[in-house]
Amino acid sequence: MEWQSIPELVRRAAERYADTEAVVEGRNRISYGELGARVGRSTAACLANGIEPGDRVAIWAPNTLDWIVAALGAVSAGAVLVPVNTRFKGTETADVLRRSGARLLFVTGTFLGTSYVASLRRAVAEGPGLPELQQVVVLSDDAPAEFRTWKDFLASGDGVGEAEVRARAEAVEPAWPSDIVFTSGTTGRPKGAVITHAQTLRAYEVWSDLAGLRQGDRYLIVNPFFHTFGYKAGVIACLMRGATMIPQPVFNVGTALANIAAERVSVLPGPPTLHQSLLDHPARTSYDLSALRLVVTGAAVVPLRLVERLRGELGVETVLTAYGLSEASGIVTMCRRGDDPTVIASTSGRAIPGTEVRVEAPPGEPGEVLVRGFNVMRGYYEDEAATAEVLTQDGWLRTGDVGVLDEAGNLRITDRIKDMFIVGGFNAYPAEIEQLLGLHPDVADVAVIGVPDARLGEVGKAYVVRRPGAVLTGDDLIAWARREMANYKVPRAVEFLGELPRNASGKVVKGELRGRR
């Protein structure tokens, strides 16, 4: 492989594509040469502040140039990146910081009307504390006294020499962890999938090859950087090919259309809902979208009509579907260019090179999807019990997803053993939501399922048993939930029951609840 580590990838990209536009953020445009210099300065600051190889560095911020520079600087210092979901509340973020033992946190100032700094301070004050967190850097021009601004942090590294920065970056080994992506499981307890530099680079070199990403492409990155699809299929893939990154912090259809037209965007991965909303926008025809040539979408069901419209109405040359999960570096199967539209719409493609996929069921029948290959995580960070539940002795990863393999090896995801549902591209886990709703003083029992939604694909519905004498309404509980959890987790509907249906062993029979809809 051409690159042995992410720091080497950054250095090579800065040299090879020095004058090529690397990142466009409004009027701010920087070349790959400039990006390399900025990442070097970020690395120097990490060194000046005592970051050692293997230290965890978290980042809680939306898609911006500063996110790219901060993250790549930390990874080039040998640190392990811990991206945090921007939809998380302060308590959820503090939990991830505590579990990962993060020493340094980069955090946005205000985003979507919320002060992330205030949210974090409140969570720390009310919780068990974060003894390992030594420094918080606010990615803005002002910060409270106990935190630092991004500008001050970068300036603190000015005394670190270029030779020292390069030596640290070159010391990073392929087998070292590059990131820990936290994902909730059926227990609702966040678990961090540990992925190495070598795994990341191999997986997204494959992704770039199969997608046909190339130098000169202009890539609108709407998928959040805290997600593998945004960071690795976005930032890492662009570094590999010398494509231009155009980060968009929030998905807004009008902004996306304007960006695609003004910046001649050629590449737009994202969930099916994103592409559907672009096609259906009333003013779509007033924008020049003719540069768009590549769309890659996720494992959610993709209507054949969507594929046909992207190709017919927008003239998109390549539309591909793929399937992945954090525990397998974000990529397991992918369609190939030239596949029939029905294959692209009805499956997530075939196993990527170097990976095996099998289904625990007879051919053509649904069963649990298992994956084995270079892309499978090392394990969950400091959680041997959870790791043992999903990794078999002979290296197979139990995905918890149910799927069917056709004769050509194409995988179709049909269900989720874990009960997970996808809200506008975000994974929502009923067990985690149930735990949070169960904290409401008027809730005696609760079960959550995913139900279809025209705009978001799926949303949560909560079946609730009130405590005796309680007069809790659905609106009350939804309003309470909006204060306590990320918005995509909040149930959109509540139905009250006298009791939840349970089987002989006491487990809620969710199939019965789904039948009530």
Q: Determine if residue 185 is left, alpha or beta; phi over 0 gives left, psi from -120 to 50 gives alpha, anything else beta.
A: beta
How far, in Å, CA of 463 to CA of 511, rounded?
13
pLDDT tens for 94-107 read 999 999 999 999 99
> What residue spans define the domains of the chain?
6-173, 199-416, 421-516
CB 321 within 8 A of CB 297: yes
Task: Please determine, looking at this structure, whether the domain spanning 421-516 carries the CATH number 3.40.50.1370.
Answer: no
Spatial distance between the Cα atoms of 87 and 92, rounded to a whole number of angstroms:
9
6-173 against 421-516: fold identical: no
Query: What tokens does 119 get?
Result: 């949210």
Give me the pLDDT at residue 187, please: 45
Assign 355 to helix, strand or coil: strand
Q: Which pLDDT value is given to residue 68?
A: 98
Q: Using DSSP bridges, classify how beta strands 421-423 and 411-416 pair: parallel, antiparallel or unpaired.
A: unpaired
Counting as low any pLDDT under 50, the low residues of the chain are 185-187, 504-505
Secondary-structure class of domain 199-416 per CATH:
alpha beta
State the pLDDT at residue 506.
57
Record: fold of 6-173:
Rossmann fold (3.40.50)
* Residue closest to 46 by CA, chosen among 11, 74, 78, 8: 74
pTM here is 0.85
DSSP 444-459: EEEEEEEEEETTTEEE
Q: What amino acid occupies position 138?
A: V
Instruction: Specify whether the CB–CB gap between 182 and 188 falls below 8 A.
Output: no
Tokens found for residue 517: 């809809």
Q: Is there a contact between 83 and 74 (Cβ–Cβ < 8 Å)? A: no
Q: How far is CA 18 from the centre of its chain?
A: 28
